[in-house]
């Protein structure tokens, strides 16, 4: 769609529609603009350093790009920081402690007696 082109123009010199092929990754990239209400105001060119031919066309790079855009928008208007809590939310869930272990995986130091 043409209206996407005004928001994030290019990622590494390519159209972001070509760079992020799936709808999920595209929606992650434009999420900071939707959350802050600045959709259509800014044009963004993103340069990403990556390794390998297909590195970067994945979920983690789209999330990283969204976080970078959100940080730039926070610099422009610090009041937007509360709107970006869903963008900065970490998906890490700690593993619970198991019986007979020091923590979830580490064992106690072995002693003969």
What is the chain's pLDDT, residue by residue, as a tens digit (113 residues)?
A: 444 444 556 676 777 777 777 888 888 888 888 888 877 777 788 877 765 556 555 777 888 888 888 888 888 888 888 878 777 777 778 888 999 899 889 988 888 87
Helix (H) and strand (E) counts in the chain: 4, 3
CA distances from residue 1 to 4, 5, 23 in whole angstroms, order as listed: 6, 8, 12
pTM: 0.66
Cβ atoms within 10 Å of 11's Cβ, excluding its own? 23
């Amino acid at each position: 769609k043409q209206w996407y082109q005004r928001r994030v123009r290019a990622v590494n010199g390519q159209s972001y529609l070509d760079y992020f092929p799936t709808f999920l990754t595209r929606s992650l990239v434009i999420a900071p603009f939707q959350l802050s209400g600045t959709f259509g105001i800014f044009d963004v060119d993103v340069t990403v350093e990556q390794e390998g031919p297909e590195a970067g066309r994945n979920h983690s790079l789209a999330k990283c790009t969204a976080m970078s855009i959100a940080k730039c928008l926070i610099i422009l208007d610090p009041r937007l920081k509360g709107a970006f809590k869903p963008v900065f939310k970490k998906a890490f869930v700690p593993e619970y402690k198991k019986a007979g272990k020091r923590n979830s995986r580490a064992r106690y130091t072995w002693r003969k007696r």
